[in-house]
A and B are shown apart, each in its own frame.
Chain A
Amino acid sequence: MRIADGYGVRLVAAMSLKLEAVTKRVGPEIHLQDIDLDIAPGSLTVLLGPTLAGKTSLMRLMAGLDRPTAGRVLVDGADVTGQSVKRRDVAMVYQQFINYPSFTVYENIASPLRRAGLGRDEIDRRVRSVAELLHIEGLLDRLPAALSGGQQQRTALARGLVKEAGLLLLDEPLVNLDYKLREELREELLSIFAERKSIVVYATTEPLEALMLGGNVVVLDEGRILQQGSTIDVYTRPASIRIGGIFSDPPINLIGGSVEQNRLVLGDVVVGPRTAHLGNVAVGQYSFGVRSNALYVNRRSDADMEIRGIVELSEISGSETFVHVAHNGVSWVAQEEGIHSFALGDSIDIYLDPAALFVFDWRGGLVAAPGRTTA
């Protein structure tokens, strides 16, 4: 589709991307196994997974930088599996700040446009507008080596965006930046993505980042897709313990227990009522999971269950405090708003609302999840 806008006529890609049973092996190692993905035009997909989950491998296959060992990659329904990256409509931003060191920021951003054979004025307009978007308009004459890390990554992002490729791949673009810069850039990126018509694929290890970006999430682990769906759905209903662990930071707290006729036993001492979503769970042994942000140092309601433990560690992160509490050999992490100090070794009570419990069966599959209001 060609449309006219403030930049003059340009091609607006509305690409769709499909991966069919894609497998990537390098020697004896399996990097990706049977990946099936269907990405709708103009959507934002977050690849979430721990390091070595295969996020980068998957992106490289989508880009056409690597060729899958088996399976097909389809763009707009056409098989592009073996097609060279030069002929794909793709832009990628790497985790490391990758720019052409010998080009100025301006030339870096302009290089994809120059190769595309655009006119001088058109290039100038587009470079300046994207530089303004990323607040690097004052740095256009500098070389990348003379920039800070954040500015270098902004340059790399600008080059990724300026091309208006149908597929924009971002491989943990913010991970090497400091906390404040990351927050700032993430917000800007969100508004930039909203205006894009291209597919955006964003890889991250951080659950919080995935939640902020929204869109769809694909949870990857050890080269397999564990779950995919809208980000908020996957967050509120992680299909297994492993997904709960990946999609929680700190990882979801787990404890074995049982659902009995009219009460709930966590570990072997804590007893609570069997309320809300637990009502439908059959009697038996289960693993219970609770996110740290649903554990409290103060009692909130009478229904709260009380867990007595010993403070192992207390870490302050930004405006939150994480308290690690040992209870019966299980370590729990509670996330408390504000900055608190807890003496190590002190006895402490932490509280949880049974309505916030995830219930998993012995294989690790989800049996019951809290309603959305508690998530």
Chain B
Amino acid sequence: MTLRKRHIGLLIYFGVLLLPIYWMLNMSLRTNADILGGFAFVPTDPTLDNYLKIFTDPSWYSGYINSIIYVSINTVISLSVALPAAYAFSRYRFFGDKHMFFWLLTNRMAPPAVFLLPFFQLYSTFGLIDTHIAVAISHCLFNVPLAVWILEGFMSGVPREIDEMAYMDGYSFPRFFGTIFVPLIRSGIGVTAFFCFMFSWVELLLARTLTTTDAKPIAATMTRTVSATGLDWGLLAAAGVLTIVPGALVIWFVRNHMAKGFALGRV
């Protein structure tokens, strides 16, 4: 096989893209002394100590568990709220439907910081601070509009006649929705779940502010590694690598559906 110029260019581009991730992996396998000691493209004396510490120290692994809990809650809430909403937007014409659809999207246009104080005040009042549900609900503000937007695209791709046919066949709405409609848009649901997951997983500001100890997310844990002895480079890099893993896994599962979403112009 001959490498054409084009391929070489692409390989270089690919290399540049992957370099930071590789470097993080590289650092995660070295000790702090080694990292600070000198430059090495391949770790000379690889060690898994950093990973071991994360998996054995509760203050570290509980961060992952907390993140996974509120991300899952958020994804479930977002989907279960967005599915009926998207169905309504896709199937019915009602007063102000187009404006409302656009208004939903505008929720995403404001930076999360804008909502920080209201959320904090509100959740303090209700005693929700430092709970998983608090973070999950606050992330819904951004994920529900996105989920409605993506799902509406997939739902509108299903002919309305299928709904009508199901009613004529004698299906009730819940039964039709569950047994016929949802399977038809499962790629859309997969893609939506992925986006909800990703936003919630990487969001730092709200998650950190609304939690203190019991529900502290991994991203917040990572920002608190600065100690009197300086930064723990290796540990931080290992935590970073482990943070990428769930996202990469989820992408792997929805990679085929993503293409469909892109084709619909909704992703």
A residues bordering B, Cβ < 8 Å? 63, 65, 84-86, 88, 90-92, 94, 96, 98, 100-103, 111-112, 115-116, 159, 163
B167 contacts A by Cβ under 8 Å: yes
A sample of 30 inter-chain contacts (CB < 8 A) reads A63-B168, A65-B164, A85-B164, A85-B167, A86-B168, A86-B170, A86-B172, A88-B168, A90-B168, A92-B164, A92-B165, A94-B161, A94-B165, A96-B159, A96-B161, A98-B161, A98-B165, A100-B162, A100-B165, A100-B166, A100-B180, A102-B180, A102-B184, A111-B166, A112-B169, A112-B170, A115-B170, A159-B165, A159-B169, A163-B169
Q: Would you call A85 and B161 a contact (CB within 8 A)?
A: no
Residues of chain B within 8 A of A63, CB atoms compared? 164, 168
CB proximity of A302 to chain B, nearest CB, Å = 57
B84 contacts A by Cβ under 8 Å: no
Q: Dominant SS at the B interface? A: helix
Q: How far is the CA of A33 from the CA of B198 in the complex (A)?
A: 53
Closest 7 CB pairs of A and B: A115-B170, A112-B169, A102-B183, A98-B161, A85-B167, A94-B161, A111-B169
Residues of chain B within 8 A of A116, CB atoms compared? 170
CB proximity of B255 to chain A, nearest CB, Å = 21
B177 contacts A by Cβ under 8 Å: no
Residues of chain B within 8 A of A90, CB atoms compared? 168
Closest to B182 in A: A102
B171 contacts A by Cβ under 8 Å: yes
Closest to A90 in B: B168
Q: How far is the CA of A115 from the CA of B172 in the complex (A)?
A: 9
Q: Dominant SS at the A interface? A: loop
Q: How far is the CA of A101 from the CA of B185 in the complex (A)?
A: 11
B residues bordering A, Cβ < 8 Å? 159, 161-162, 164-172, 180, 183-184
Q: How far is the CA of A94 from the CA of B161 in the complex (A)?
A: 8
Residues of chain B within 8 A of A111, CB atoms compared? 166, 169, 171
CB proximity of A104 to chain B, nearest CB, Å = 13
* Of B159, B168, B183, B184, the contact of A85 (CB 8 Å cutoff): B168
Q: How far is the CA of A84 from the CA of B171 in the complex (A)?
A: 12
Q: How far is the CA of A96 from the CA of B159 in the complex (A)?
A: 10
Closest to B183 in A: A102
Q: How far is the CA of A100 from the CA of B162 in the complex (A)?
A: 7
CB proximity of B91 to chain A, nearest CB, Å = 12
Q: How far is the CA of A101 from the CA of B167 in the complex (A)?
A: 16
Closest to A117 in B: B170
CB proximity of B165 to chain A, nearest CB, Å = 6
CB proximity of A97 to chain B, nearest CB, Å = 10
Q: Name 19 extra pairs, CB < 8 A, besides A98-B162, A112-B168.
A: A63-B168, A84-B167, A86-B167, A86-B168, A86-B170, A90-B168, A92-B164, A92-B168, A98-B161, A98-B165, A100-B165, A100-B166, A100-B180, A102-B183, A103-B180, A112-B169, A115-B169, A115-B171, A159-B169
Closest to B161 in A: A98
Residues of chain A within 8 A of B180, CB atoms compared? 100, 102-103
Q: How far is the CA of A94 from the CA of B159 in the complex (A)?
A: 11
Residues of chain A within 8 A of B159, CB atoms compared? 96, 98
Residues of chain A within 8 A of B162, CB atoms compared? 98, 100
Q: How far is the CA of A91 from the CA of B170 in the complex (A)?
A: 10
Residues of chain B within 8 A of A86, CB atoms compared? 167-168, 170-172
Which of B159, B165, B183 is the most central at the interface, judged by chain A CB atoms within 10 Å of its CB? B165
CB proximity of A273 to chain B, nearest CB, Å = 55
Residues of chain B within 8 A of A159, CB atoms compared? 165, 169
CB proximity of B199 to chain A, nearest CB, Å = 29
Residues of chain B within 8 A of A163, CB atoms compared? 169
CB proximity of A94 to chain B, nearest CB, Å = 5
Closest to A169 in B: B168
Q: How far is the CA of A84 from the CA of B172 in the complex (A)?
A: 11
Q: How far is the CA of A254 from the CA of B178 in the complex (A)?
A: 57
Q: Would you call A91 and B168 a contact (CB within 8 A)?
A: yes
